Amino acid sequence: MEYTVELTERGSVTLPAALRERYHLEDGDILTVIDLDGVLVLAPKAGLVSRLVGDIERIREEAGLSVSDLIDEVHEDRRRHARSMR
């Protein structure tokens, strides 16, 4: 599902009510914003997730890989797996 939100002058974003309800978000909840090479991920209550993402990002950068490289490799793995299932 896709939603459109607007960034205010002060940098605030209002999450649609449907998302707040779905993820049980309330006023004052802490959210983590994760930048995956230009793709922003908003993770509710994600202390562990943000640490893991940080580790993954560090490893990705040390390996000299872009997010596109990782996505391309996933697609290639799926193709190899599909061929092996024939």
- Would you say residue 5 lies in a domain? no
Helical spans, DSSP H, in 1-86: 17-22, 47-62, 67-84
Contact 44, 23 (CB under 8 A): yes
Q: State the amino acid at position 83 in one-letter form.
A: R
- Would you say residue 8 lies in a domain? no
Domain around 60 = 17-84
Strand partners, 43: 32
Contact 67, 59 (CB under 8 A): no
Contact 65, 36 (CB under 8 A): no
pTM greater than the 0.85 cutoff: no
At 46 the pLDDT is: 56
Cβ neighbours around 50 below 10 Å, total: 15
- Would you say residue 27 lies in a domain? yes
Average pLDDT, the chain: 87
Which tens digit of pLDDT belongs to each residue from 36-72?
Answer: 888 888 887 655 666 678 888 889 999 999 989 988 9
| Percentage of residues of the chain with pLDDT beyond 70 | 92
Residue 31 pLDDT more than 80?
Answer: yes
- Would you say residue 39 lies in a domain? yes
Domain count within the chain = 1
At 79 the pLDDT is: 92
